[in-house]
């Protein structure tokens, strides 16, 4: 948790906390019709006994964005210079069917970036989420981004109002999630055709015209690079003027380009992301850790430019994300368990003779500063018996230093698992050890 905290704070976020239970009303303003079925609601018993008309419904906090909006409006946060950057860590409660990675009580770590309407804010937010994963040495993730304005534009061209749009979003979100799992060969007891048939029926029940249903089905499968995806969306919605305008004005291309320039190559546009809650506007995103299988979505977020105003505050654009901490822990233990060597030592330095001692001490000192556990042979063993000692103890690396290495100020790094060895500079050895032991490039 300290690593996550440090990373978030390095972007200028300050921690806040909100109550564990809230008035149900707070969430009912903009969380969708199905919201009540998915949360733990209870009533104040004393009030209930005194006056039935005054029964108040409470809810165990299912997420933080709505409470933070209330906090923003009712505290001096709203008069602070923009953007206001706050983060939180705490328990959330949802009425789920418990399964691995999906619990009724779980911990979220999230941030809210309030006040900037510009796509630079979306870019920095997504970079921060990626940096949290990198700091945890979870380097294999996929960022999927969408702009809900395109979908909203299309649906309004077909005369679906805001509430109807949200119902359609829910149907799309569920189907897209199932298809993504099938893409990754995650078993979900459904076939591709089954998922499509189900969403077709659902869309029909929601009054979606066959022509629109066809476009939405194509959206479900539409993901990839901006250069490929955007012309395909344009072709699909060319008869829908609001959607065409939304694509022209969309910051999607800008955001994806900036992320790629930053080095986040595993990010793609995914028209299937609609997000579960009704308050999202514009850019939304999700991050998957494929190592987690069925519950691979570890982070979700996006813009909620209307929510603060709907809660009675000034017109204030905002964006944010939440990590599922339990899923981060699961992924962390999966990745690091696999990489965990059986020895508590990462590398044993074997020298040919005491003449190489100075350079060996220097290399050991530098590696220890980087966080590696390093031993130098202190038994004056012959070089070969020192290597066999490292092998016996299942130490992952031997660092061999002989007269040539000493002279060139280099070292020979031997991967004792594969048996491969190579002479290289200290920096190259450091990178190779980081890659093998910690999984980072
Ligand atoms: P959400 O607030 O639905 O956008 O969720 C944000 C993140 O919280 C998700 O990406 C998950 O990692 C995590 N999450 C959501 N629901 C659960 C749950 N029931 N159990 C564990 N983690 C969850």
Q: Which pLDDT does position 45 carry in this prediction?
A: 65
pLDDT of residue 226: 82
Q: Per mean pLDDT, which range of 74-78, 83-87, 134-138, 174-178 is the poorest?
A: 174-178
Kindly tell me if the per-residue pLDDT of 52 is higher than 80.
Answer: no
The region of weakest confidence among 32-36, 64-68, 427-431 is 32-36
Q: In the prediction, which pLDDT does 283 show?
A: 94
Q: What is the pLDDT of residue 426?
A: 95
If phi > 0 it is left, if psi is from -120 to 50 it is alpha, else beta; for residue 243 that is alpha
What are the residues whose beta carbons fall under 8 Å from the beta carbon of 320, sequence distance 6 or more?
Answer: 65, 68, 110, 111, 112, 113, 125, 301, 302, 304
Please, which residues have CB within 8 angstroms of residue 53's CB and are 6 or more apart in sequence? Answer: none
Q: Which of 327, 328, 331 to mutate to test the pocket of ligand 1 (most atoms within 8 A of CB)?
A: 327
Residue 126: pLDDT band (50, 70, 90) is: very high
Indicate the range of 43-47, 81-85, 121-125 predicted with least confidence. 43-47
| The predicted structure's pLDDT at residue 440 | 62
**Cα(12) to centroid of ligand 1, in Å?**
24
Average pLDDT, the chain: 89
The pLDDT tens digits for 140-158 are: 899 999 999 998 999 999 9
Query: Which atom of ligand 1 sits closest to the CA of residue 276?
Result: 3
Report which DSSP code applies to 393.
T
Contact 93, 299 (CB under 8 A): no
Is residue 225 helix, strand or coil? coil
Q: How far is the CA of 211 from the centre of ligand 1 (A)?
A: 34
H helix or E strand, kind and range, residue 86: strand 84-93
Q: Label residue 94 by pLDDT band (50, 70, 90).
A: very high
Pocket test residue of 324, 325, 330, 331 for ligand 1, highest count of atoms within 8 A of CB: 324
Looking at the CA of residue 327, tell me the nearest atom of ligand 1. 12
Residue nearest to atom 22 of ligand 1 (CA): 324
Q: Measured over all CA atoms, what is the biggest interatomic distance in the chain, rounded to whole angstroms?
A: 89
In this predicted structure, what is the pLDDT of residue 55?
A: 72
Q: What is the per-residue pLDDT for 273? A: 84
pLDDT of residue 335: 82
Instruction: Tell me which of 68, 97, 300 to substitute to probe ligand 1's pocket, judged by most ligand atoms within 8 Å of the beta carbon.
Output: 300
Question: Torsions phi, psi of 181, nearest 5?
Answer: -65, -40
Estimate the crossing angle of helix 148-157 against helix 241-249, to 10 degrees.
160
Report whether pLDDT(306) > 60. Answer: yes
- Cα–Cα dist 196/359, whole Å: 64
Whole-number Å distance, alpha carbon 92 to ligand 1 midpoint, is 9
User: How does 62-79 read in b/e, with b if 16+ C-beta sit within 10 Å?
Assistant: bbbbbbbbbbbbeeebbe
Average pLDDT, integer, range 356-361:
94
pLDDT, tens only, 272-289: 887 766 788 899 999 999
Q: What is the pLDDT of residue 133?
A: 95
Ligand 1 centre from 284 Cα, in Å?
15
pLDDT tens per residue across span 190-214? 888 899 999 999 999 999 999 999 9
The model's confidence at residue 305, banded by pLDDT at 50, 70 and 90, is: very high
Centre of ligand 1 to C-alpha 350, Å, is: 48
The protein residue whose alpha carbon is closest to atom 23 in ligand 1 is 324
pLDDT grade, residue 339 (50/70/90)? low
Ligand 1 neighbours by CB, cut-off 6 Å: 63, 94, 96, 102-103, 106, 108, 276, 297-300, 322, 324, 326-327
**Average pLDDT, integer, range 15-29:** 88
Torsion angles phi and psi, residue 304, rounded to 5: -135, 70
Specify whether the CB–CB gap between 168 and 206 falls below 8 A.
yes
Question: Is pTM beyond 0.85 here?
Answer: no
Which stretch of 161-170, 337-346, 383-392 has the lowest confidence by average pLDDT? 337-346
Lowest mean pLDDT among 169-183, 189-203, 286-300: 169-183
- pLDDT of 113 reads 97
pLDDT at residue 326, as a whole number = 95
Reference 306, options 149, 101, 143; nearest CA is 149
> 421 has which bridge partners?
414
Please name the residue whose Cα sits nearest to atom 11 of ligand 1: 324
pLDDT band with cut points at 50, 70 and 90 for residue 61? very high
**C-alpha to C-alpha distance for 322 and 299, rounded to whole angstroms:** 6
């Amino acid at each position: 948790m300290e690593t996550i905290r440090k990373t978030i704070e390095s972007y200028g976020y300050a921690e806040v906390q909100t109550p564990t239970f809230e008035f149900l009303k707070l969430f009912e303003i903009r969380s969708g019709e199905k919201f009540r079925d998915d949360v733990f609601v209870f009533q104040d018993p004393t009030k209930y006994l005194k006056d039935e008309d005054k029964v108040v419904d409470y809810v165990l906090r299912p997420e933080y964005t709505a409470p933070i909006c209330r906090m923003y409006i009712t505290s001096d946060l709203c008069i602070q210079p923009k953007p206001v950057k706050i983060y939180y860590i705490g328990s959330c409660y949802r009425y789920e069917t418990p399964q691995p990675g999906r619990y009724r009580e779980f911990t979220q770590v999230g941030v809210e970036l309030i006040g900037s309407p510009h796509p630079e804010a979306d870019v920095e937010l997504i970079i921060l989420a990626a940096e949290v994963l990198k700091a945890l040495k979870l380097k294999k993730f996929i960022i999927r981004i969408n702009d809900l304005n395109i979908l909203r534009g299309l649906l309004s061209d077909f005369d679906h109002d805001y509430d109807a749009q949200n119902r359609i979003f829910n149907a799309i979100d569920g189907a897209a999630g199932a298809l993504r799992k099938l893409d990754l060969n995650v078993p979900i007891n459904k076939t591709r055709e089954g998922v499509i048939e189900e969403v077709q029926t659902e869309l029909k029940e929601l009054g979606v015209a066959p022509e629109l249903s066809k476009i939405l089905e194509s959206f479900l499968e539409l993901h990839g690079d901006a250069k490929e995806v955007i012309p395909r969306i344009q072709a699909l919605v060319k008869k829908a003027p609001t959607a065409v305008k939304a694509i022209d004005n969309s910051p999607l291309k800008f955001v994806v380009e900036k992320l790629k320039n930053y080095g986040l190559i595993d990010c793609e546009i995914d028209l299937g992301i609609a997000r579960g809650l009704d308050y999202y506007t514009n850019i939304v995103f999700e991050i998957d850790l494929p190592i987690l299988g069925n519950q691979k979505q570890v982070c979700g977020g996006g813009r909620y430019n209307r929510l603060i105003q709907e809660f009675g505050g000034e017109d204030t654009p905002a964006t944010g994300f939440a990590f599922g901490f339990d899923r981060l822990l699961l992924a962390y233990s999966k990745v690091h368990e696999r990489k965990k060597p059986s020895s508590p030592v990462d590398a044993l330095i074997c020298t040919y003779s005491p003449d190489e001692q100075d350079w060996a001490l220097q290399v050991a000192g530098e590696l220890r500063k980087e966080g590696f556990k390093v031993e130098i042979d202190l038994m004056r063993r012959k070089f070969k018996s020192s290597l066999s000692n490292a092998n016996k103890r299942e130490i992952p690396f031997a660092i061999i230093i002989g007269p040539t290495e000493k002279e060139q100020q280099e070292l020979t790094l031997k991967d004792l698992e594969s048996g491969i060895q190579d002479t290289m500079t200290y920096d190259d050895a450091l990178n190779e050890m980081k890659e093998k032991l910690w999984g980072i490039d």
